[in-house]
Structure 1
Amino acid sequence: MGAVGLGCMPMSWAYSSSQQRGERSLRTVHSALDAGSSLLDTADMYGPFTNELLLGRVLKERRADAFVSTKAGLLVGDQHIVANGRPGYVKRACDASLRRLQTDVIDLYQLHRADPEVPVEETWGAMAELVGAGKVRALGMCAVGARASRRSGGDLYAGTIRQLERMQQVFPVSTVQAELSVWSPQALERLLPWCEARGVGFLAATPLGNGFLTGTLTPGQGFEPDDVRARHPRFTAEMMAANQPVVAGLRRVAARHGGGVTPAQVALAWVLAQGRHVVPVPGTKRPEWAVENAGAWKLELTAYDLAEIAALPPARGSWD
């Protein structure tokens, strides 16, 4: 598995639908694989289903080049997204994902979100049976949505860690996926140390801050109504302007390294520097950005670089 993965969600979910072009997305996946980003991260809910179908077209030709990660446990309705952790559903979802992905086995199967109506041990036990059946190689937990506990003043990932401890009693947790970036470092407090102490891999979601840390977005620019950033507190014109010092700091570090190094590569290199089991999974739907992201592993930040990034002002605007 390469040092930097490819998040496939933007190709068919959550970002500017007018920019979601199938053939370009296919080129993006191929470009990422060519550049060494073998981890392809998707989910059945992205689309829904269209993301896995798109990847299946690539995997049919290049299965040996890819480490396939998909997720189950969330259902997309007309008005809401709801969790479904019932054992029977998870097993059926796995079979459906295998068909869409055109593969005989999923390398990493992630629980997208725990179902509050189903004991997590039951869901995880069903997923473990999929490993025993040879349909899945390893299991992971997606904790991207665990931020709500911050509103009550609690430890951000306290509930997630309690769940993970329970899951470990049933079957080994191979990976945890959660948000981690220069402007959202909260996972460093307890979640990443928990993973490191147990040899659990950490997949860093949105390591480029939903695109903000690339330096390609400008304050006040509009987002399409179906783009998650249109409703994100950090993407108002006021907050984007207030957070420009974060991007300016990444630009300074990039300029110091020369050779066409970009702020996005600095942001990804920072994530990589947080631990040897950390894999950033930046999402993109453009081939050139997939190649740029994949090259971030070559950038070795100095102690001075890391200190400068650590001294950047905290990001303004609500995290969630």
Structure 2
Amino acid sequence: MKNRQLGPFSVSAIGLGCMNLSHAYGAPVTAEQGESVLLRALDRGVTLFDTAALYGFGANEELVGKVLSKHRRKFTLASKCGMTGVDGKRVIDGRPATLKRTCDEALQRLRTDVIDLYYLHRWDKSVPIEDSVGALSDLVRQGKIQTIGLSEVSASTLRKAHAVHPITALQTEYSLWTRNPEIAVLQACKELGTAFVAFSPVARGYLTGTLRDVATLDPKDIRRGMPRFSPESYAANLRLLDGLGAIARDAGCSMAQVALAWLLHQGEHVIPIPGTTSRSHLDEDLEAADVVLPAEILARLDALMQPRAITAARYNAQSQSEVDTEEF
């Protein structure tokens, strides 16, 4: 597995987003299946594992801690605070006292003394970003976390935060069908020496070409509430996949692999973290690190998947109000 730099850490060029094992896409997998995927990733050379307090309201951190704590020296551990489950409901709370308390709780679930990269999962807009990052910098001084990250924020918010404490990584959605980071934040990360961690790099399954009918989604699948996955919008977006499939065939790889390889070609500071519940899909994703795309293929991908070609927004109004990202 090729490596990329994440602040002081050298990590696998493709990490693993662990959310799918416990959260968001219907019923979570069994503990045995989750363990199988995590250990397969470790065996395949993945050295960046990404979780959060929100995922399964603590269950994902517990799973990662139970399975991987005995291998703690082999990987970089990332988790997130500031958006958690409280009494069965999702709550955004960036107050310093809350962040410090939830860090202690996360350390227990993860069965570790220190979290390598701790993100503010959402900026609580009722709290100045400087205050939330200040609390995280206290955790660095206390030795409970090593570095600080931000999720779903704009370039201007990143710069404000970075002035308080160096921001090691910024995480937001980035893929061929979500190009918003190209407006400003991708370049801001490059200027500041901040790694850009791309979540949902295969567009929540869309770019794999395997999800053809959104009516088959689990009733509790979060995609049912996303505008791009409404039946009408998804039908329109499906029309792009024939072209994507043709490009992938010409590149000699799968659609998921061409999508991940395209991200890796967007800059050495870009690190995708696909998630999966399948060992075979995991293997497919990781093999994308070895895919080299010629300029002609990159140009065809860029022309096909322009923002104006995508039907509907990525978030509904409520979810959009909770993020701070630039939007086309």
TM-score (norm 2): 0.88
Instruction: Tell me what 2:285 maps to.
Output: 293
1:116-144 Cα offsets, whole Å, 9 max, x none, are: 2222212111111111111111100011x
Instruction: Tell me what 1:172 maps to.
Output: 166
Instruction: Tell me what 2:72 maps to.
Output: 63
Q: CA separation in 1, counterparts of 2:129 and 2:198?
A: 23
Cα gap change, 1:195/1:285 in structure 2, threshold over 3 Å: closer, same or farther? Answer: same
Where does the alignment leave 5 or more consecutive residues of structure 2 unmatched? 1-10, 316-328
Q: CA separation in 2, counterparts of 1:252 and 1:281?
A: 25
1:270 paired to 2:256: no
Q: CA separation in 2, counterparts of 1:7 and 1:291?
A: 14
For the residue of structure 2 that corresponds to 1:139, the secondary structure is strand
Residue 245 of structure 1 contacts residue 312 of structure 1 at CA under 8 Å; is this kept in 2?
no
Structure 2 matches for 1:1-320, cutoff 5 A? 1-17=11-27, 20-77=29-86, 80-143=89-152, 160-258=154-252, 261-313=253-305, 314-320=309-315
Letter in 2 for 1:4: I
Letter in 1 for 2:266: Q
- Of the structure 1 ranges 56-65 and 189-198, higher mean CA displacement relative to structure 2 is found in 56-65
Report how far residue 308 of structure 1 moved: 0.8
TM-score (norm 1): 0.90
Residue 25 of structure 1 contacts residue 287 of structure 1 at CA under 8 Å; is this kept in 2?
no
Cα gap change, 1:57/1:79 in structure 2, threshold over 3 Å: closer, same or farther? Answer: closer
Letter in 2 for 1:2: S
Residue 251 of structure 2 contacts residue 297 of structure 2 at CA under 8 Å; is this kept in 1?
no
Q: CA separation in 1, counterparts of 2:77 and 2:150?
A: 15
Report how far residue 81 of structure 1 moved: 2.5
Q: CA separation in 2, counterparts of 1:90 and 1:28?
A: 29
Residue 118 of structure 2 contacts residue 148 of structure 2 at CA under 8 Å; is this kept in 1?
yes
Q: CA separation in 1, counterparts of 2:290 and 2:127?
A: 44
For the residue of structure 2 that corresponds to 1:137, the secondary structure is strand
Cα gap change, 1:308/1:245 in structure 2, threshold over 3 Å: closer, same or farther? Answer: farther
Report how far residue 5 of structure 1 moved: 0.9
Report how far residue 291 of structure 1 moved: 1.6
Residue 75 of structure 1 contacts residue 81 of structure 1 at CA under 8 Å; is this kept in 2?
yes
Residue 222 of structure 1 contacts residue 230 of structure 1 at CA under 8 Å; is this kept in 2?
no
1:45-91 Cα offsets, whole Å, 9 max, x none, are: 11100000000112222112221000000132457532211212111
Cα gap change, 1:220/1:136 in structure 2, threshold over 3 Å: closer, same or farther? Answer: closer
Letter in 1 for 2:293: L
Where does the alignment leave 5 or more consecutive residues of structure 1 unmatched? 147-159
Cα gap change, 1:290/1:88 in structure 2, threshold over 3 Å: closer, same or farther? Answer: same
Residue 251 of structure 2 contacts residue 258 of structure 2 at CA under 8 Å; is this kept in 1?
no
Q: CA separation in 2, counterparts of 1:68 and 1:99?
A: 14
Residue 150 of structure 2 contacts residue 167 of structure 2 at CA under 8 Å; is this kept in 1?
yes
For the residue of structure 1 that corresponds to 2:23, the secondary structure is coil
Residue 206 of structure 1 contacts residue 281 of structure 1 at CA under 8 Å; is this kept in 2?
yes
- Of the structure 1 ranges 226-235 and 192-201, higher mean CA displacement relative to structure 2 is found in 226-235
Cα gap change, 1:96/1:77 in structure 2, threshold over 3 Å: closer, same or farther? Answer: closer
For the residue of structure 2 that corresponds to 1:140, the secondary structure is strand
For the residue of structure 2 that corresponds to 1:47, the secondary structure is helix
- Of the structure 1 ranges 301-310 and 214-223, higher mean CA displacement relative to structure 2 is found in 214-223
1:209-256 Cα offsets, whole Å, 9 max, x none, are: 111101111135421121011122212233222222432233222212
Letter in 2 for 1:100: R
Letter in 1 for 2:141: G
- CA-atom RMSD in angstroms: 1.6
Letter in 1 for 2:312: G
